[in-house]
Chain A
Amino acid sequence: MKKQKQLIEEATIMFASDSGGGSQIIGTQMTEASAIAGNDVATLPDYPAEIRAPAGSLAGISGFQLRFSSLTIHTPGDICDVLVAMNPAALKVNIDKLKPNGVLIVDIDNFAQRNLRLAGYNSNPLEDDSLTRFQVIPVELTRLTREALKDTDLTQREIDRCKNFYALGMVCWMYNRPMDYAFQWLKEKFATKPQYIEANTLALKAGNIYCEATEQFATSYEIKPAKFAPGKYRNIEGNMATALGLVAASQKAGLQLVYGSYPITPASTILHELARYRNFGVKTMQMEDEIAAVGVAIGAAFSGALGVTGSSGPGIALKAEAINLAMIAELPLVVCNIQRAGPSTGMPTKTEQADLLQMFYGRNGESPLPIIATSRPSDCFETVYEACRIAIKYMTPVIFMSDLYVAFGAEPWLIPKVSDLPAIDVDFPTDTDGFEPYLREEVTLARPWAIPGTPGLEHRIGGLEKADISGNVSYDPDNHEQMVHLRAEKVARIVEDIPPTEIFGESRAELLVLSWGGTYGAVRTAVEHKQAEGESVSHVHLRYLNPLPKDLGEVMKGFKRVLIPELNLGQLRQLIRAEYLIDAIGLNKIQGQPFHIFEVESKINELLRGDV
C-alpha cells in the first residue's frame, strides 16, 4: 500500500489510560524523542487524584498531553489532534479535548460491557453515532500486543502491561519519530530485567509495523525542527529545573545546600531530585512535618548554609510562624511554594495560583518578604537561582512561587554556562572590631551573617523584637516602629536589583495584558495571535511580585486598559489596584486547569471591542 507523508507545522497528542497503564511513560518518551528531533515541545501531565482507582473507572484516568512544533510554542495546546484512549473511561474523560475531525485511537479490546458500564456509557460509543465527528481508528491493541509477545516467557499480565509501548510504536510511525530513544531508555530502565527490555522493544516495533501494514493508517506526518537560539538544550520538567537551580546557587555561592521538606504534591519531586545529589554535598532532610522542614532550613542558615524548604499551600501555611522567625532574625532562607488547587486539601493534583495573598500576608505582624514567581519549566532554574541570590544578598527569607502546571510540565531548556551565572557573594564576618549583630550594610540594609564557630562574634538572635544595631531584646516603642520600617525598607530596596520591565509589543497601546506565574504560555500565545491580527495589545509578565518593578506604574500608563488573567479570584489585580490605583480588569478561572489560549483571546477581543 502506498503511504502518504505530509508536512505539518505542529501536533498535539493526548495519551490516556488507567493510572499505571503507562500513559505518563510513553508521553515522556514521545516528548524526549520530539525534543531531540529539534521540535519545540510542551507537556501537560494530568494525574488522577487516586493512585490506583479501580481499573476502568473514571477516577483513575491518567493523561499526558504533548504538543510538538516546528514553531516556538508556549503551551501544551488547547485542543488535541490525536487522542489515544486505552479504555472507555479514558475516552469519556478526554474526548472533549479532541478537535473535530481529530484522530481517535482506541483499544477496542477494552470496550467490553463491564468497562463501558464503569465509564458510565449506556451504549458503546464506538457503535452509536456519538463519535462521528472524529476519525475513529479502532485497534485491537490488547490482542495484537499478546500476539506480538506470544513467544516471550512473560505472563499474560506482564504482556498486557506492554500495551502502552505498542501504542507508542504506532504514534512514532504516525509522526515519523525514530524509536532509538525509547530503545535506549528501556535498556537502562530494565537493566536488571532483560525480559522486559525484549518484550517492550517487541511491542514498540510491532505497533510501528502495524501502522505501516494496515490500511487504517494512510498518512504519516512530518514536523520540521523549530528555530531555537543557538546553544545546547535539554528537555526539562519544572521541578527538576528548580532542583538544579538550587544546586547551582549553592555551588556558585560556595555554600552547602540544606533542603528540608515533607512530602506533598506537587513539591515532592524537588526533594526526590535533590536527594540524588549527595555528591554535591547536598543535605536533603525529610522531616516529621512541614514545620520541622522549615526549622532545619532555618537552623542550617544560622550555621552558614543555604537553607531551603519546599512545599505546597497547606504545608506553607504550617510553616508561616517559622518563616516569620527567619524574617525577624534576618536570616537567608528560600521557601518554595509549588501551588496546587486549594483551599484546604483542595485538589492536590490540579493547578491554581491562589496562594499569592497568602505569601504576601499570611504571617502575623508586619512581615514583608520578597516574592518571585517562575513562569514556565525552563524559567524555574533562573528564578529560583535569583531567589537564592536575593536571600543571601539581603539576608532575608525569599518566597519562590511555582505551580503544579509548571512543576510537572516540560519543555526545552537552553542550558546556561556555569561561568555565565550571576555571582553570589557570601561574606561571613570574622572581625570582632565593632561587630554588632544588627548593624546594617548601608545599601542593602543586610545585617552581618556571623556564624557559630566564629571566635568573638558570639551573639543571640530570636523572635522577640530586636533593638536596632545591638539586636538585644527591646520593648521600646520607638525602636519597634523603627525596626518595622527598617525591615520593610530592606525588602523595598530589592527593587534596585530588578531589571527594567520587558514589554512584549508596543509600549503604548489599547490594552496591556499583565500576568504572573504559570499563565505565561497561554497569555503570551494569545497576545501573539492578537498582535498578528493587528490588534493593539501588549504583554508584560512579572517575575518580581514583591517588590514590584519600579517602572511598572509608568509602563501601565502607556495603556488605556490593563487586563490581569489569573487562576484565582483576582489576587494580583487586588495588589495592583491598591498599589497604583488602576482599574485593572480581571480574567479569572478557578477550575484546577490552566488557561486555554482561546479563553485569553476571547477576553482580549471583548475588551478591544469595548463592549464590557
Chain B
Amino acid sequence: MKNRTSSSIPLAVQTLTKQDFTADQDVRWCPGCGDYSILAQTQRILPDLGIPKEDFVFISGIGCSSRFPYYMNTYGFHTIHGRAPTIASGVKAANPDLSVWVITGDGDALSIGGNHFIHLMRRNFDINMLLFNNRIYGLTKGQYSPTSEQGKKTYSTPMGSIDNPFNPISLALASGATFVARSLDRDPAHLRGVIKAAFEHKGTSFVEIYQNCNVYNDGAFFTYTEKETKADNTVFLEHDEPLVFGKDADKGICLNGFKPEVVSLTDGAHTPDALITHDQFAEDRTLAYFLSRMTEAPGLPHPIGIFRSVENPCYEGMMTEQINAAKEQMGEGDLEALLNAGDTWGVE
C-alpha cells in the first residue's frame, strides 16, 4: 500500500484540471437537474485538493444522485440502495490513505440507509458524504421521501403525506458527526467552498446539498436559492461572525432562552453584539443543534454553511493504533506460532 501524505504531492497532481475528473460516459440526468451543478463543482474543486486522482474513491447507493460516480473519472462504486456508507467504511478501513466520498440522496441516506447513516456519523471515519436532498424520490419517479414536508402530495400520497420529515442536519449532529454543513446546488462558489472544507476536515464530513429535482419536485428550495427570496430566507454561517442576514444585512438572529429569534438591526433596539455569534469549532454541539432547528421554525431563515467542525479521533486511525499496540505487546503476528499455540502434543 502506498503511503502518501499531502506534503509529498507529486508535481503532476497540481496540474490536474476539471477535465481529468470527467469520465467518458454520457451524463444521464434530466436536463436542468440540480445534480449537474453539484457534479461540475466537484469536478472543479478536486484538482485543487492536492491529492493524486487515483486516490479518490466515490461510492454511492441507488438513486438519481447515486449515478454520480459514473461521471467521475476516479475510482468509483455504484453500490446498492442505502448501503454506500458501509462499503465506504470498508474501503477506508482497509486503506486509510484513500480519499473516500459517499454520494447519496435523501431516500438513500435517510430511508433505507438510515441506520448506516447514523452509525457512519458516530464512528467518525475520515469520509465525506454529500447528500443530494431534493425532498423526493427521483429515480423511482416521484414518491415522497423522508425529507418531504408533511402534507406533500405525490404519486404515493395523493391526499398528502402524513409522515414527519427528518432534518438531516439535526440528525447528523445528534449522531455525533464532527463536520456538518449545508450548501446549495445553485450557489456554485459556496458549494465549492463547503466541499473543500469537508475534504479538509479530518473525520466524517456531512454535507447536505439542497438540490432541485425539476421533474418531480421543482422549486422545492427556490425560496432559499433564488435571487429574489434568498437573502431574506437564508443566513450564511461564518465562524466567529454574528448571524446577520437580509437583503441589506438588516436582520439578525439572537437567542431568547432556548429559542432563536429574528431581530431587526435597524430599529435601534439591537446591535450585532446581541446576536448569536457562530462558533463552528465549539466542542459542544448544542449551538449547532439550535441552529439546525431553525430550518423547521416558521419565520426563521435557513442556515447555510458549516454548522460544526471539530476534530475527534478517526475510526481508521484508532484501528491502526490498536494494531500497532497489539504488535508492540505481542510482537508481529507469527502464523506458525499462532497455529501451534495452546496445548499441543506430538504423535510419533
Chain A CB within 10 Å, residue with most, of B1, B74, B92, B333? B333
Q: In the complex, A426 Cα to B48 Cα: how many Å?
A: 34
- Does the CB pair A292–B340 fall under 8 Å? no
Point out the residues of chain B lying under 8 angstroms from A298, CB to CB. Answer: 79, 87, 90
- Does the CB pair B343–A234 fall under 8 Å? yes
Closest Cβ of chain B: how far from A560's Cβ, in Å?
39
- Tell me if B52 is interfacial: C-beta within 8 Å of chain A: yes
- Does the CB pair B93–A285 fall under 8 Å? yes
Q: How many residues of B contact A (CB 8 A)?
A: 64
Q: In the complex, A302 Cα to B74 Cα: how many Å?
A: 14
- Tell me if A232 is interfacial: C-beta within 8 Å of chain B: yes
- Does the CB pair B333–A303 fall under 8 Å? no
Q: In the complex, A475 Cα to B25 Cα: how many Å?
A: 14
- Does the CB pair A295–B77 fall under 8 Å? no
- Does the CB pair A300–B344 fall under 8 Å? no
Chain B residue nearest to A184 in the complex (CB): B343
Closest Cβ of chain B: how far from A561's Cβ, in Å?
38
- Tell me if B301 is interfacial: C-beta within 8 Å of chain A: no
**Which residues 449-465 of A sit at the B interface, judged by CB distance below 8 A?**
451-464
Q: In the complex, A229 Cα to B347 Cα: how many Å?
A: 7
- Tell me if B162 is interfacial: C-beta within 8 Å of chain A: no
Q: In the complex, A499 Cα to B45 Cα: how many Å?
A: 55
- Tell me if B80 is interfacial: C-beta within 8 Å of chain A: yes
Point out the residues of chain A lying under 8 angstroms from B156, CB to CB. Answer: none
- Tell me if A359 is interfacial: C-beta within 8 Å of chain B: no
- Tell me if B54 is interfacial: C-beta within 8 Å of chain A: yes
Q: In the complex, A472 Cα to B28 Cα: how many Å?
A: 14
The answer, among B54, B86, B87, for a CB contact under 8 Å with A458, is B54
- Does the CB pair A299–B86 fall under 8 Å? yes
- Does the CB pair B338–A244 fall under 8 Å? yes
The answer, among A228, A300, A456, A457, for a CB contact under 8 Å with B93, is A300
- Does the CB pair A280–B54 fall under 8 Å? no
- Does the CB pair A460–B69 fall under 8 Å? yes
Q: A235-B343, A291-B83, A458-B53 are in contact. Are A251 and B333 (CB under 8 A)?
A: yes
Stretch of A32-40, A125-133, A336-344, A538-546 contacting B (4+ beta carbons < 8 Å): A32-40
- Tell me if A287 is interfacial: C-beta within 8 Å of chain B: yes
Closest Cβ of chain B: how far from A258's Cβ, in Å?
5
Closest Cβ of chain B: how far from A226's Cβ, in Å?
9
Point out the residues of chain A lying under 8 angstroms from B53, CB to CB. Answer: 455, 458
Q: In the complex, A459 Cα to B1 Cα: how many Å?
A: 18
- Tell me if A415 is interfacial: C-beta within 8 Å of chain B: yes
The answer, among A285, A321, A459, for a CB contact under 8 Å with B75, is A459
- Tell me if A70 is interfacial: C-beta within 8 Å of chain B: no
- Does the CB pair B77–A418 fall under 8 Å? no
Q: A229-B347, A295-B89, A453-B2 are in contact. Are A303 and B116 (CB under 8 A)?
A: no
Closest Cβ of chain B: how far from A447's Cβ, in Å?
14
- Tell me if B31 is interfacial: C-beta within 8 Å of chain A: no
Can you give 27 A-B contacts (C-beta < 8 A)? A36-B343, A232-B340, A233-B346, A244-B339, A278-B326, A279-B331, A280-B333, A283-B323, A285-B90, A291-B116, A292-B85, A295-B83, A295-B86, A296-B86, A299-B92, A299-B94, A302-B77, A303-B94, A415-B340, A452-B55, A452-B57, A452-B91, A453-B2, A453-B54, A453-B55, A462-B77, A472-B25
